[in-house]
Each structure stands twice: as structure tokens, then as C-alpha cells.
A and B are shown apart, each in its own frame.
Chain A
Amino acid sequence: MIDLKGYGPALLDGAIVTIELAFLSLALALALGLVGASAKLSGSRIAVGIATSYTTLIRGVPDLVMMLLFYYGGQVMVNRLSDAIYAAYGYDFFFQFDPFISGVVTIGLIFGAYMTETFRGAFLAVESGQIEAARAFGFTRFHTFRRIILPQMLRHALPGLGNNWQVLLKTTALVSIIGLTDMVRVAEEAAKAERMPFHFFIPVAFVYLSLTACSELFIRWLNKRANVGVIQGG
């Protein structure tokens, strides 16, 4: 076992922060993706316009710039809001816009845009006859979605979803730049203090590598399960 110079527990805590961050962002991204895809397919011009500008905007701007904007800008917004509340009601409060929240919000927003595209394609892949049949059976819109569309679209969404998750996992490293003490941050501080960059960054790289490798296996298993009833053409 390699000697981590007493930084072992801190690195482990950092790894847990990274994983929490990744899962929370994923949840937000999935929710936003479903909403975005529904909006894109709703046929309402306003909803389509909003969803399209959302995905276009996100795909044009680097994730780090977005994160810096939310982190520093978010604090300024909160400060302005609390000033306004103080001026109006005399109620004083201070809210620290911390890196974890900014990270979840930014990563969730960015991958929400990618998920929107993935889900949109998957929704379109569900045969319209299936939806018509459900409507003919008197299913409500919600029931049609839950019982007919969702189970069938998941199979088409999974490959794209898996790719997005792998990229998301690696994007979490960026949150160390705005000061979150995830494992990258701990490793950076340790590497600088001990002047041993390889010693601390390579284990962190291995943690990321094993996370992506495990995800790959899990996604492959999910794919197999989702495609159980499908006879593949040659």
C-alpha cells in the first residue's frame, strides 16, 4: 500500500464528495432532460423556443465558464437579494453560495441539456401506434407516459445516457477549481505541500478510472436488461 502521508482520510472524504456531487447532478440533469425533451416535443412554440435556446446556449459555452459564472455571480445575486430584503423589511440574513451547490446546479444544467437531446431521440423512437393504442384503451396522458412511453424509451435512451454519465463523472473534477474540497482539491494541496505530484494525482486518477470502469460494466448490464425482449436483427 502506498504511503499517503496522512492525507488518506481526507482523500477518502473527497472521493465521497465527488460521488455525492455526481449523483445529485445526475438527478437534476435527468429531471431537466425529461422536462426539456417534453418541451421540445410539446409543439407549443414558446416551450420549443425556450428548450431550444437552453440546449443551444449550454452547448456553446465551456462548463468551467458556466461554473465560474454561477459561483461568483450566484453570490452577488444572493448578496443583492439580501440587501434588498434588508432595505425593505429590516430582516438581515446571510447566505453563503457554496461551491457544492454551484457545482450541482451547473453540472445539472449542462447535462440537462445533453439529456434533453438524448431523451428527445428516445421519445421519438417509441412507435406512435403504441401511444395511439394506449389512448384508445382510455389511458390518461400520465398513464400513457408512465406505462407505455417511459419503459419503451428507456431502452433507446440508455446508450446516450451512459455516455453522458461518463462525461459527467469526469466533469465533477472541475468543481475543485471553485474551491470544493473534493478529492482533486485534496490531492492538489497535498501534492503542493509535499512536492510529490505523481504520488497524489495518480491514485486520484485511478479512483476516476475505476469509477468509469464500474459505470461501464453497470451500463452494459442495464443495456442487456433493457433489451431482454428485443430480437436483434443481423
Chain B
Amino acid sequence: MPEFLNELLSGNEIFVGSTIMEYWGGLVTTVQLVFLSLILGLILAVPLAIMRTSRNPLINGPIWLFTYVFRGTPLLIQLYIIYYGIAQIHGIQQTFWWDIFREAFYPALLAFTLNTAAYTTEIIRGAIIATPHGEIEAAKAYGMSWALRMRRIILPSAARRAVQAYSNEVIFMLHSSAIASVVTLVDLTGAARNIYSRFYAPFDAFIFVALIYMALTFLLVFAFRKLENYLLRHQRPVNG
């Protein structure tokens, strides 16, 4: 603990060094969980979204079902099914997977990843469908193959259309991650709940953590605004 913090907190019963460190640990867990699930979810979502736009019902159908189920049920239920369900899979306790999924972090990561992948798939699909037909025709006229068209024309322009909705999804995910605390994970909310029960001080414990979440949210809003400005820089007025 830095010296000045100790001085600042002297005469305070709740926010002593150890509690601050507990919140810090929670912050690290929350950020890891949200960041990893968003990255993995995005990686999953791009191919899924492309497949979802396919006209073949055998490709399109299963993806539709996946996004429909994951968007139509609460994340809490998904988390419970994965967290409690994994231990029940026959024979898993004898394999190396058990070493991974025994900790609460990985089932939570899996649930969050699948959930955000479902929402992101639909966001990207919407953006892909909205590609102006002329752009695709022009790409075809230039003799671009399907893969090249996707990579050079459709996906970049879809990314610009999707970024606004995706920023909402990211903030939604940050807020949803609070439920990780119900499966014994000590994330930010988990730390706040521990501190609440130790001191019986609901206002101090929860308002403090609410402020941290708020700071994280506004940081994300700011970062996404910058990203949006960057992606849409060609639309800026010349002397604007």
C-alpha cells in the first residue's frame, strides 16, 4: 500500500488497506472476465454472422436457434446451467477439463462468451445485411472473389455500421458480469458483497462499487466514441 493512501484513509473503519485491495482484486477479475469474454465472443461472432446470412437453411438455421435461445433466456440461467451442469457431465471429473472447469472463473467465462457471441452475431448480421447492394455489385464487377469481397468490402463497411450497437453490447456485458458473484467468484460485486457482510454497511460497500462501475462505463463510452470517430473519419466535413 502506498504511504499517502494509508494517511488518507486513517480514521476510516471500512475503507482500510485490506478492503481497498479486495476491491482491487475484484476489479482485476471483472476486467479479465469481461475483456476475455468480449474478445472470444467477437471472434466467434464474425464467422457465425457470415453463416447466419447464408441462404442455406442448414447453415442459417442452427445459428438462428443458437442466437434465439441465448438472447431469449436470462444470462443468469445460462450461467447456472453451465456452472452446475458441467460437473454433472459423465466422466468429466476424470479428464483434464475438470482442472479447468472446477474453478468458477471458466464456467462464467464460457457462459458470458456464448451470451455475448449470440448478441454480437445478430448485430454484425444486421450490419452485413445493410451493405448497399451497389458496393457488392461493384466488387463483383471488379472480379473480386467471395472471400476478397467479404474481407475488403463487406466486413469493413459492416464494422462501421455495427460499432454503435456493439458499444451498447460491451457496456451491457460489463453490467451483466456482476452476476459472476453468485457463483462464488469475487469480482467487483463479489468484493462489495463480502465487505457489506463484514461491516453491515450497505451504502458504503455498494455505492463505492457503483462508482467504480460508473467510471468503467464512462471510460468505455469515451473509448468507443473515439473509435467511432476514427472509423467514420471519411464522413467528417472537410473544414469541420
Question: How many angstroms between the C-alpha atoms of A208 and B81 in the bound complex?
Answer: 14
Q: Is A219 an interface residue (CB 8 A)?
A: no
Q: Is B182 an interface residue (CB 8 A)?
A: yes
Q: Are B84 and A191 in contact (CB under 8 A)?
A: yes
Q: Are B196 and A76 in contact (CB under 8 A)?
A: no
Q: Are A197 and B81 in contact (CB under 8 A)?
A: yes
The A-contacting residues of B in range 174-220, CB under 8 angstroms, are 174-179, 181-182, 189, 192-193, 196, 200, 202-203, 206-207, 209-210, 213-214, 217-218
Q: Is A205 an interface residue (CB 8 A)?
A: yes
Q: Are B75 and A61 in contact (CB under 8 A)?
A: no
CB distance from A63 to the nearest CB of B (A): 6
Which of A69, A187, A202 makes the CB contact (< 8 A) with B210?
Answer: A69
CB distance from B102 to the nearest CB of A (A): 15
Which of A174, A192, A213 makes the CB contact (< 8 A) with B76?
Answer: A174
Which of B81, B176, B203 makes the CB contact (< 8 A) with A201?
Answer: B81
Q: Is A188 an interface residue (CB 8 A)?
A: yes
CB distance from A19 to the nearest CB of B (A): 14
Question: How many angstroms between the C-alpha atoms of A171 and B75 in the bound complex?
Answer: 9
Q: Is A64 an interface residue (CB 8 A)?
A: yes
Q: Are B175 and A63 in contact (CB under 8 A)?
A: yes
Question: How many angstroms between the C-alpha atoms of A73 and B192 in the bound complex?
Answer: 13
Q: Is A72 an interface residue (CB 8 A)?
A: yes
CB distance from A213 to the nearest CB of B (A): 7
**Which of B45-53, B56-64, B66-74, B122-130 forms contacts with chain A?**
B66-74
- Residues of the B chain whose Cβ atoms lie less than 8 Å from the Cβ of A63: 175, 178
Q: Is A226 an interface residue (CB 8 A)?
A: no
Q: Is B80 an interface residue (CB 8 A)?
A: yes
CB distance from A109 to the nearest CB of B (A): 13
Q: Map CB proximity to B onto A14-56 as digits: 1 under 8 Å, 0 otherwise.
A: 0000000000000000000000000000000000000000000
- Residues of the B chain whose Cβ atoms lie less than 8 Å from the Cβ of A143: none
Question: How many angstroms between the C-alpha atoms of A172 and B193 in the bound complex?
Answer: 20
Q: Is B77 an interface residue (CB 8 A)?
A: yes
Q: In the complex, what residue of chain A is closest to B214 when comparing beta carbons?
A: A60
Question: How many angstroms between the C-alpha atoms of A59 and B171 in the bound complex?
Answer: 9
- Residues of the A chain whose Cβ atoms lie less than 8 Å from the Cβ of B218: 60
CB distance from B169 to the nearest CB of A (A): 12
CB distance from B77 to the nearest CB of A (A): 5
CB distance from B32 to the nearest CB of A (A): 17
Which of A60, A62, A172 makes the CB contact (< 8 A) with B176?
Answer: A62
Q: Map CB proximity to A onto B150-183 as digits: 1 under 8 Å, 0 otherwise.
A: 0000000000000000000001001111110110
Q: Are A64 and B179 in contact (CB under 8 A)?
A: yes
- Residues of the A chain whose Cβ atoms lie less than 8 Å from the Cβ of B84: 191-192, 197, 201
CB distance from B195 to the nearest CB of A (A): 12
The A-contacting residues of B in range 2-19, CB under 8 angstroms, are none
Question: How many angstroms between the C-alpha atoms of A47 and B208 in the bound complex?
Answer: 27
The B-contacting residues of A in range 183-234, CB under 8 angstroms, are 184, 187-188, 191-192, 195-198, 201-202, 204-205, 208-209, 212-213
Question: How many angstroms between the C-alpha atoms of A66 and B210 in the bound complex?
Answer: 8
Q: Are A201 and B69 in contact (CB under 8 A)?
A: no
Q: Is A152 an interface residue (CB 8 A)?
A: no
Question: How many angstroms between the C-alpha atoms of A192 and B178 in the bound complex?
Answer: 22
Q: In the complex, what residue of chain A is closest to B204 when comparing beta carbons?
A: A73
Q: Is B88 an interface residue (CB 8 A)?
A: yes
The A-contacting residues of B in range 79-118, CB under 8 angstroms, are 80-81, 84-85, 88
- Residues of the B chain whose Cβ atoms lie less than 8 Å from the Cβ of A69: 202-203, 206-207, 210
Question: How many angstroms between the C-alpha atoms of A112 and B200 in the bound complex?
Answer: 29
Q: Are B176 and A68 in contact (CB under 8 A)?
A: no
Which of B74, B193, B207, B210 makes the CB contact (< 8 A) with A208?
Answer: B74
Q: Is A65 an interface residue (CB 8 A)?
A: yes
Contacts from B to A (Cβ < 8 Å): 68-69, 72-78, 80-81, 84-85, 88, 171, 174-179, 181-182, 189, 192-193, 196, 200, 202-203, 206-207, 209-210, 213-214, 217-218
Known pairs A177-B182, A184-B74, A202-B81 / 5 extra A-B pairs, C-beta < 8 Å: A60-B217, A64-B189, A68-B189, A73-B206, A174-B76
Query: 4 closest pairs, A vs B, by CB?
Result: A60-B214, A197-B84, A173-B74, A72-B202
